[in-house]
């Protein structure tokens, strides 16, 4: 049964057609990613489905009594409530039940204790308990913390939150409300890696239907069981996550090209036959072939290969090479008052290395780039650049853009040797064509401004690039073009990013800013993931000293000396911890097996020959969904066991 179905939707703004012929349905448990280039109308489609924007044509049908939740980029929030109260308010029926329960309790306290009032109070208590009401506050607080809103913010009034914090609170409220249809527009914006991973785990268990616009390819792979590609002529559906979508789309493009070539050859043969025998003794056969030719021409547009999405053409070409040692960090330290970003640390970077810089929001990643660029002074130590280094910096805040200057003026000002014609050619490679080059920089969208920054970065010809969130505001085709250009860049790269696809593809070394320190990890993003997993598991338990139980206890030492009862309790705790860790390891092994199965099934779904047999294709899709369901169940079990192991560990303070 469908939660929502769209039929022949169309939307235009003035003379500009956004999309038409848009039809699809989402069933319970569907988790679909909505992709397409910037300007394709993804956010517009979400607004139409959510009922905040009317369609010009077509219909949207939502299941009877189904609730709809929509995350916009400018959410409406209760401004005068505290963050914690705003989250609790969103727990839907539980909030209503708790208010009724409190009113009934107050009535009983006033002496209104009739038999009917007592029975109603008992019924309310039972309903509240069955609905998980006693865990309501814990779930809300865990969700706030998971999305990067720590306890220190919970008593803050909503009106005092930053833009990013408001988006996180709006997302938290949506998740707590558990709508049957969840519509999310770029939910990972403003989240650090830990919060994105928390959100992925939450959405993997989503019971309703989910439609999510995202440029985060890793997120789409982890969360989505379908990908919907939006174009001006409608929606194409692909089973699997983002990687499966890419494989299937490439296969479809190849098949369409082959079909177009075959149709072109057949059309040429039919036309030659008709022209040769139109008036001869084969005129009847010629008329038959002419009808086939007309039918082939009518069907030809459907055989055309889909046009590839537009992406900027990038090639970073440094003027010269650096020496072998590019950077020496010696005793570098930085604090802001009592907030220590990182104590003194050392590192050496060699030519050609790609270093990813990761950490929670506020850990000091951008500050580290500013220190490296010499725009901020360290408290101690130094970062010394090697011979021949020419720095270029892509700033997250758009520094270097003059809002009153045109796009063309920015390029002309970057290099006196560039003429207007060459500047326009360069800008065309970044999708600024025609009159777009005369637009004021202050009037550009976020994606357009970022493309201009990339163009100016390329024109600096630096051999060391400092990039702060380089894929922000870029659609997927532009992200892939940027990754390819950085991969081919012969110099040295330092990149702050939450884009796990980019980090995994480019960076062979990670600087992890974690709890007031910098951890230097060789092995790239996989090594960082392994280090985080090991930290989450905690230190392995060790056996107590076998001689300690036989040692006499000093008189009066009591608990401080470790009395026998406390020792036995610790032993039981250690045994329980070992049991939980063993179970955790077993689940992790099973997760690896099922992940391999899902990957194999996803590859099979990406093979075009599968869809020649509808029954075989349906069986393959069913097997993929069953494997995905098993994997999500294992993820949930892994999370439960991991939390229990941490709570019962000796370091948690529990005996």
Residue-level pLDDT at 541? 53
Stretch 6-19: mean pLDDT: 90
- How far is it, in rounded angstroms, from Cα 372 to Cα 466? 9
pLDDT in tens, 324-352: 999 999 999 999 888 888 899 999 999 99
pLDDT in tens, 416-441: 788 888 888 888 878 888 888 898 88
The first and second tokens of residue 206, run together, are: 């989503």
Q: What is the percent of the chain with per-residue pLDDT over 70, rounded to a whole number?
A: 72
* Fold assignment, 325-525: Rossmann fold (3.40.50)
Residue-level pLDDT at 549? 40
CATH class (in words) of the domain with range 2-245: alpha beta
- How far is it, in rounded angstroms, from Cα 89 to Cα 81? 10
**Confidence band, pLDDT 50/70/90 cuts, at residue 643:** low
Rg (CA), the chain: 30
**Confidence band, pLDDT 50/70/90 cuts, at residue 555:** very low
- For the chain, what are the domain ranges? 2-245, 246-303, 325-525, 538-544+562-652
Are 230 and 34 in contact, with CB atoms under 8 Å apart? yes
**Confidence band, pLDDT 50/70/90 cuts, at residue 139:** confident
* pLDDT above 90 for 493: yes
pLDDT in tens, 271-319: 776 677 676 666 667 677 777 767 766 665 444 445 555 666 677 788 8
As to burial, measured by CB atoms within 10 angstroms (0-12 exposed, 13-18 middle, 19+ buried), residue 436 is: middle
Exposure letters 375-391 (e unless 16+ CB within 10 A, then b): eeebbebebebbeebee
Residue-level pLDDT at 654? 40
Q: Which letter does DSSP use for residue 437 in this model?
A: G
Residue-level pLDDT at 554? 39
pLDDT in tens, 20-53: 999 999 999 999 999 988 778 898 999 999 999 9
The first and second tokens of residue 620, run together, are: 């393959």
**Confidence band, pLDDT 50/70/90 cuts, at residue 495:** very high
Residue-level pLDDT at 608? 58
Stretch 241-267: mean pLDDT: 76
More confident residue, 567 or 30: 30
Residue-level pLDDT at 652? 43
* pLDDT above 80 for 626: no
Residue-level pLDDT at 442? 84
* pLDDT averaged over every residue in the chain: 80
Do 325-525 and 2-245 have the same topology in CATH? Answer: yes
More confident residue, 98 or 379: 379
* pLDDT above 50 for 649: no
**Confidence band, pLDDT 50/70/90 cuts, at residue 238:** very high
CA distances from 493 to 125, 159, 504 (A): 60, 39, 14
Residue-level pLDDT at 612? 58
Question: 646-652 long-range CB contacts below 8 Å, 24 or more apart?
Answer: 646/536, 646/538, 648/573, 648/576, 648/577, 648/580, 649/538, 649/541, 649/573, 649/577, 650/541, 650/570, 650/573, 650/574, 650/577, 651/538, 651/539
* pLDDT above 70 for 570: no
Our CA angle for 588, 355, 216, nearest 5°, is: 60
Are 171 and 69 in contact, with CB atoms under 8 Å apart? no
Asked whether the CA dihedral 10, 11, 17, 23 is positive or negative, the reply is negative
- How far is it, in rounded angstroms, from Cα 546 to Cα 541? 15
Q: Which letter does DSSP use for residue 608 in this model?
A: G
Stretch 69-84: mean pLDDT: 87
Stretch 536-559: mean pLDDT: 47
């Amino acid at each position: 049964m469908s939660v929502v179905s769209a039929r022949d939707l169309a939307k235009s703004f003035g003379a500009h057609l956004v999309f038409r012929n848009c039809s699809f349905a989402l069933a319970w448990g569907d988790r679909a990613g909505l992709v397409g280039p910037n300007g394709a109308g993804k956010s517009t489609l979400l607004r139409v489905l959510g009922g905040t924007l009317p369609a010009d044509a077509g219909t949207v049908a939502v299941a009877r009594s189904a609730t709809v939740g929509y995350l916009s980029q400018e959410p409406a929030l209760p401004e005068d409530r505290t963050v914690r109260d705003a989250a609790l308010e969103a727990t839907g029926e539980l909030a209503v039940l708790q208010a009724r329960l409190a009113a009934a309790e107050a009535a009983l306290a006033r002496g209104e204790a009739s038999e009917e009032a007592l029975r109603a109070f008992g019924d309310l208590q039972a309903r509240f308990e069955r609905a998980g009401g006693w865990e309501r506050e814990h779930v809300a607080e865990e969700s706030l913390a998971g999305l990067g809103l720590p306890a220190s913010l919970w008593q803050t009034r909503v009106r005092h939150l930053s833009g990013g914090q408001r988006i996180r609170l709006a997302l938290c409220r949506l998740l707590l409300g558990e709508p049957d249809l969840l519509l999310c527009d770029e939910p990972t914006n403003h989240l650090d890696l830990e919060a994105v991973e928390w959100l992925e785990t939450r959405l993997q268990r989503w019971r309703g239907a989910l439609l999510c616009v995202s440029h985060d390819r890793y997120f789409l792979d982890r969360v989505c069981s379908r990908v919907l590609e939006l174009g001006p002529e409608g929606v194409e559906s692909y089973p699997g996550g983002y990687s499966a979508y890419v494989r299937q789309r490439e296969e479809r493009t190849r098949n369409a090209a082959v079909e177009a070539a075959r149709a072109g050859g057949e059309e040429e043969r039919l036309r030659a036959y008709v022209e040769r025998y139109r008036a001869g003794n084969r005129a009847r056969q010629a008329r038959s072939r002419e009808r086939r030719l007309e039918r082939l021409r009518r069907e030809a547009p459907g055989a055309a290969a889909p046009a590839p999405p537009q992406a900027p053409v990038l090639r970073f070409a440094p003027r010269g090479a650096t020496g072998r040692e590019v950077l020496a960090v010696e005793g570098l330290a930085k604090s802001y008052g009592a907030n220590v970003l990182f104590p003194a640390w050392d590192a050496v970077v060699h030519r050609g290395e790609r270093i990813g810089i990761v950490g929670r929001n506020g850990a000091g990643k951008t500050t580290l780039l500013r220190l490296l660029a010499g725009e901020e002074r360290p408290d101690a130590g130094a970062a010394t650049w090697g011979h021949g280094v020419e720095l270029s910096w892509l700033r997250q805040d758009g520094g270097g853009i003059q809002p009153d200057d045109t796009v063309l003026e920015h390029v002309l000002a970057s290099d006196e040797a560039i003429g207007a014609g060459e500047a326009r050619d360069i800008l065309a490679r970044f999708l600024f064509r025609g009159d777009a080059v005369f637009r004021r920089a202050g009037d550009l969208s976020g994606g357009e401004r970022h493309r201009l920054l990339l163009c100016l970065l390329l024109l600096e010809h630096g051999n060391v690039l400092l990039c702060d969130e380089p894929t922000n505001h870029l659609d997927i085709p532009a992200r892939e073009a940027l990754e390819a250009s950085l991969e081919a860049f012969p110099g040295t790269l330092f990149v702050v990013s939450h884009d796990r696809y980019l980090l995994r593809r480019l960076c062979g070394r990670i600087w992890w800013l974690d709890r007031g320190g910098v951890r230097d990890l060789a092995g790239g993003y996989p090594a960082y993931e392994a280090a985080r997993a090991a930290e989450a598991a905690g230190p392995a338990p060790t056996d107590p000293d076998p001689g300690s139980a036989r040692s006499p206890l000093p008189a009066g030492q009591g608990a401080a000396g470790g009395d026998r009862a406390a020792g036995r309790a610790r032993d039981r705790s250690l045994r329980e911890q070992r049991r939980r860790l063993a179970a955790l390891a077993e689940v992790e092994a099973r997760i690896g097996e099922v992940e391999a199965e899902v990957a194999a099934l996803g590859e099979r779904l990406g093979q075009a020959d599968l869809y020649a047999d509808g029954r075989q294709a349906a069986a393959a899709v069913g097997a993929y969904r069953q494997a995905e369901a098993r994997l999500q169940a294992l993820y949930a079990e892994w999370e439960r066991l991991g939390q229990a192991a941490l709570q019962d560990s000796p370091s948690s303070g529990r005996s």
